[in-house]
Structure 1
Amino acid sequence: MNVVFSFARFAKNMYNAGLNQRNPITLPFNFLLNFSPVFIWLSIFKHAGLIPTGIRPNIHSKFAFFADQFLFGDYWHELAVQFPNNTSKLFFWSFVSSTAFLLAFLVCLPLAIWYYIYYVKHVNYNPLEWFANIFHYPRSHKQRPIHKRLRTIFIPFALPVFTFVMLNIDHFFAYQSDANFTKTKDLLAWFSYVILHLTAPILTAVYLYVFQPPGTLKCFGFALGLQNIAGVFTHLLIPMASPWFTHLYGINDTEHVNYTQEGFAAGLIRVDSHLGTHLNTKGFHMSPIVFGAVPSLHSAIAFQCFLFLISRSTSLKHRFSNVGNLSLNNNDSSTFKLNEEDSEDDADNNNTVSMVGPNDLEMEPLSAIVSADALDERSPSPSSSLTVSSNERNTSNDGSSVINHNANKKPLQFVHLYHEDTQFTNKWIFKVINEGLVPKFWAVFYITLQWWATMYLDHHYRFDLFVGVLYAMTSFIIINWFVLQPKVLKTWIHIRLGDQVDTRNEARTFGMRVFCGSKMEWFFDPLA
């Protein structure tokens, strides 16, 4: 009976946490609104076959092949197969051009942009993670300068070279040869290319909804929709052939380069033979966009999941444990504000108590600051969200400086929503995931597996996959800069600081609402 009662109570908590002051009628409409760009993309893709062939653009059946060979290297000696009379010369120039592409565009250009941002413009925050000090705590007690931290370097500056290296590693294991094809590999590739392609975005959305601030899931949906809409329009305006087309008909084929050409399942035909079905074969024959190779939306969708998992998965730092008994009122003179303009909300939160640790979040020391109000008027810069004016830094109620000349910094104080039982949270099972490595590991594993599966099944070139990455990064940067950071995360931090009244019960994530008042609530808090 206790089990039934506990399950019923849990189900009730799930229902109430999901509604969160909404009603069952408006909730589906809210979901449809959040994922409307995805539905628009699916509608465009499904009805693409209705476009008259007479007004469609010419098909570029060779471009993706040459771009792949000369930007990433001819490791499979495909140029020798397609052009047997110029084997040695083409092979040599493929590696010269791919090396130049790697060094000039994937290493030197991102390095120059990184140097310009941090050493020429002297930016002292992460352009993509405005609140890095809040959500991503340093593993060591020594805080490294913002421009030397791995997170800042990896996203986005090291991502291009990471993509190049991983694509070539996957390319090596995806060699198109009967000796390389096995039943195990075929089924693994099918599982990634078909099953994970459909379920990974859903699982990523569930993770973001359960563990991240309200509004993060909407940003993920819009980022997916934006990149996919741009991708399908690229397919329609600049149609290109997949590798299976070249391997099946040859690079110089013109007979099959038309809009009546049926799709081909390529490596998935082997999966049909293993499973005794024809689902993949029939499904690809009915594809409305046969020459939609560039960009690869399989790569773009997987990489968007990768970006959100990498950037939003936070380290669990036991920030609200009562070790040390450091309790400070939220309106203490040492409490920093995200903005000067929000000080008027203090009266509503004077009785709020926050528990902080000795190495809690610290403000990023900025060398040259203007007032926060002035910054707010100029742009939605993160410096306006995380800094205070020089006057606020040098004065306090007791006459002592908030940040002294030795750069000793006082922590922000968040609203203490729960009590953390350290005997429970210090168990070994929580220490395994204490650095937020689980979602990061699965993000890297998934994108690596998906790239390999796509090439192994002969559905996309490395070039297609790389362009898909560029589409995902562009969409992510746009949504992150204009919506996620200034609208979602900034507002949520204001609420958690007590600077804004939580009228819509959005201080807690979905997981926190479900487990509110229990020992597990801390586990679902991005600030824990």
Structure 2
Amino acid sequence: MNGLSSTAHLLIRIVKSALNQRNVFTLSFNFTLNFLPVIIWLSIFNNAGLIPIEIRPAIHSKIAFYSDVFMFGDWFHELKTQSTHFNPYFSYFVSLSFMFLFLIILPLSIWYYIYYIKKLNYNIIEWYDNYFHFNNTQKINPKKPKILILPFLIPLLAYIVLNLDHTFASQLESNFNKFKDITAWFSYVILHVTTPILTAVYLYVFHPAGTLKCFSFALGLQNIAGVFTHLLFPTASPWFTHLYGINDSEHVNYKQEGFAAGLIRVDNHLGTHLNTNGFHLSPIVFGAVPSLHSAIAFQCFLFLITRCGSLKHRFISTETAMPGGNLQGDLPLREIRRNDSNISTSSSSEEDDQQPFDDDDYDVEEDFLRTKENSQFIKLYVEDVTYSNRWYFRIFNKGLIPKLLVCSYIILQWWATMYLDHHYRFDLFVGMLYSLSSFLIINSTILQPRVLKNWIDMRMGKNTDVNNEARTMGMRVFQGTKIEWFFDPLA
């Protein structure tokens, strides 16, 4: 009975925290407004077939193929297979030149200009890096991998990963098997739908109000730009080249039906025709560049990589937390006292129940200095280090799990699209660039100057927290409990 009561109490808190002084209609309206760009993209895509063929532009069936082999190298000797007059070795020279000039020299030149010529003194991607990811006193280091890689060297890393994925995505019959087919289908179809949803939930629960809206806007912006590119500059997928040949002109028309390519093998394994029938009805058949599968996956990657932080023990204090009520079964927050190099609680009996605290991982003097440095923040709670330092929290305290998951996903998704013969490396790379461009626009115009700045100001007491948005969704749900710190990106 107590368990049922606790569950009901938790559900009530979740609903109240989600509404956050709003009613159901206002919440629904805000949700629709925030995801309006995504809705617009879906509407354009679903109704693309209504555009009269007479006014649609010419289809470019060769551009994606040639761009792929010359930007990335003709590792599978496709130029010879398609009976072209180009030497495959020439593609290696062109691809290496492209990588060196445009993915190494140019980005590093921009990085050097920004940080050493213009002497920018903050992270161009994360303006409040010193709050969300480091201690306040830490100065910017332009050579720090995080600053150097994103956004300057991320295209180079994507280029390398795409080529590595490509080596495992050969279209030879000997490379196909049931396990690979199902794995590729799971990533291409299931994870393609669920990963943005899971990313949105994570951003909503663990990060400031407005972060989710920025994620939606970034997705919508890149996808709208992508679908307009498909309509104005249609290009053929690799399955078209492999099915009809690079020099085919008979099937290069808007009456051509879609093709499920490698997903047909999945239908054979599962005994269905869902994929085959679904792709036959696709309103945009010649929409290879950019790959929105790549763009959507990479947008999830960008938001998780930039927003996930590690535990900084910023709100360890001798003060007690603000009242907010406790979930049934949770112990109240206790006063933390410092006594030389040990941390003791107000009750010795409670101390016996706590996980042993490792003094090697904790320095009182450093903590005192950190507390002094961070005194500018309003303390909404007290982090109990004897609780937050337990092994099962340490797994999450570095913020590595979301990052590892999304890195694995983007690698898997890129491989799946090539293995299923739906996209070239070029398509995926361009999709990544669309995603990166959209992220940079939304990040620099909305997320950093409006959402995060306003939230930081509220946490510092500069702005009045009228709508209880100084706390994240998760903080509101667990307000006043020992786990509130877990949902605070500043903790």
What is the identity, as a one-letter code, of the residue corresponding to 2:312? K
- Aligned residue for 1:75? 75
- What number of residue pairs does the alignment pair up? 447
1:332-383 C-alpha deviation (Å, 9 max, x unpaired) = xxxxxxxxxxxxxxxxxxxxxxxx944539xxxxxxxxxxxxxxxxxxxxxx
- Aligned residue for 2:414? 451
- Aligned residue for 1:248? 243
Q: Against the structure 1 CA distance between its residues 496 and 230, is the aligned structure 2 distance closer, same or farther, given a 3 Å change threshold? A: same
Separation of aligned partners in 2, 1:20 and 1:457: 44
Q: Against the structure 1 CA distance between its residues 450 and 102, is the aligned structure 2 distance closer, same or farther, given a 3 Å change threshold? A: same
1:252-271 C-alpha deviation (Å, 9 max, x unpaired) = 00000000000000000000
- Aligned residue for 1:90? 87
Matched, 1:260 2:255: yes
Indicate if the aligned counterparts of 2:132 and 2:489 stay in contact, CA closer than 8 A. yes
> Paired residue for 1:502, among 453, 465, 469?
465
Indicate if the aligned counterparts of 2:137 and 2:373 stay in contact, CA closer than 8 A. no
> Paired residue for 1:489, among 452, 464, 469?
452
- Larger deviation, residues 470-479 vs 411-420: 411-420
- Cα RMSD over matched residues? 1.7
CA apart distance, 1:190: 0.2
CA apart distance, 1:25: 1.2
Aligned ranges for residues 85-484 of structure 1 at < 5 Å? 86=85, 90-137=87-134, 143=138, 145-322=140-317, 357-358=367-368, 360=370, 410-411=373-374, 413-484=376-447
Q: Against the structure 1 CA distance between its residues 412 and 162, is the aligned structure 2 distance closer, same or farther, given a 3 Å change threshold? A: farther
- Aligned residue for 2:490? 527
What is the identity, as a one-letter code, of the residue corresponding to 1:291? F
Q: Against the structure 1 CA distance between its residues 488 and 247, is the aligned structure 2 distance closer, same or farther, given a 3 Å change threshold? A: same
CA apart distance, 1:322: 2.7
Corresponding residue SS for 2:376: coil
- Aligned residue for 2:360? none
TM-score for the superposition, normalised by structure 2? 0.89
Structure 2: state its 5+ residue gaps. 319-335, 339-365
TM-score for the superposition, normalised by structure 1? 0.83
Separation of aligned partners in 1, 2:446 and 2:413: 28
Give % identity.
Answer: 63
Q: Against the structure 1 CA distance between its residues 145 and 27, is the aligned structure 2 distance closer, same or farther, given a 3 Å change threshold? A: closer
Q: Against the structure 1 CA distance between its residues 115 and 24, is the aligned structure 2 distance closer, same or farther, given a 3 Å change threshold? A: same
Indicate if the aligned counterparts of 1:322 and 1:357 stay in contact, CA closer than 8 A. no
Indicate if the aligned counterparts of 1:302 and 1:450 stay in contact, CA closer than 8 A. yes
CA apart distance, 1:178: 1.0
What is the identity, as a one-letter code, of the residue corresponding to 2:27? L
Separation of aligned partners in 2, 1:199 and 1:454: 16
What is the identity, as a one-letter code, of the residue corresponding to 1:483? I
What is the identity, as a one-letter code, of the residue corresponding to 1:107? I
1:449-481 C-alpha deviation (Å, 9 max, x unpaired) = 000000000000000000000100110000000
Indicate if the aligned counterparts of 1:242 and 1:459 stay in contact, CA closer than 8 A. yes
Matched, 1:26 2:26: yes
CA apart distance, 1:9: 0.3
Q: Against the structure 1 CA distance between its residues 492 and 242, is the aligned structure 2 distance closer, same or farther, given a 3 Å change threshold? A: same
Indicate if the aligned counterparts of 2:130 and 2:138 stay in contact, CA closer than 8 A. no
CA apart distance, 1:248: 0.2
